[in-house]
Amino acid sequence: MKKLLLLSNSKVEGFDYLGFAEEEIKSFLGKEIQDLLFIPYAAVSFSYDKYEEIVKERFERFEYRINSIHKTLNPQNAVKHADAIIVGGGNTFHLLDELYRNDLINILKAKLENGTPYIGWSAGANLACPTIKTTNDMPVVYPPSFDSLNQIPFQINPHFTDAQPEGHKGETRSERINEFLVSNPDLKVVGLPEGCILKIYDEKIELIGERKIKLFAKDQTVEEFSKDDDLNFLLT
Domains and their CATH numbers in the chain:
3-235 (3.40.50.880)
Q: 214: which strand partners? A: 191, 224
> What backbone phi and psi angles, to 5 degrees, belong to 70?
-70, -10
**Crossing angle for the helix pair 92-101 and 105-113, nearest 10 degrees?**
100
Give per-residue pLDDT as tens, 118-165.
Answer: 999 999 999 999 999 999 999 999 999 999 999 999 999 999 998 887
Higher pLDDT, 25 or 165: 25
Q: Confidence class of residue 170 from pLDDT cuts 50, 70 and 90?
A: confident
What is the rounded distance in angstroms from the CA atom of residue 140 to the CA atom of residue 132? 14
Give per-residue pLDDT as tens, 174-222.
Answer: 999 999 999 999 999 999 999 999 999 988 999 999 999 999 999 999 9
What is the rounded distance in angstroms from the CA atom of residue 151 to the CA atom of residue 132? 12
Sign of CA dihedral 97, 99, 102, 103: negative
Among 77, 147, 113, 98, which residue's Cα sits nearest to residue 4? 113
Give per-residue pLDDT as tens, 51-74.
Answer: 999 999 999 999 999 999 999 999
Under DSSP, the state recorded for 131 is B
- Please tell me the pTM assigned to this model: 0.97
For residues 187 and 133, is the Cβ–Cβ distance under 8 A? no
For residues 217 and 188, is the Cβ–Cβ distance under 8 A? yes
Which residues does the annotation mark as catalytic? 122, 137, 159
What is the rounded distance in angstroms from the CA atom of residue 6 to the CA atom of residue 12? 15
Give per-residue pLDDT as tens, 70-89.
Answer: 999 999 999 999 999 999 99
Section 103-108 average pLDDT: 98
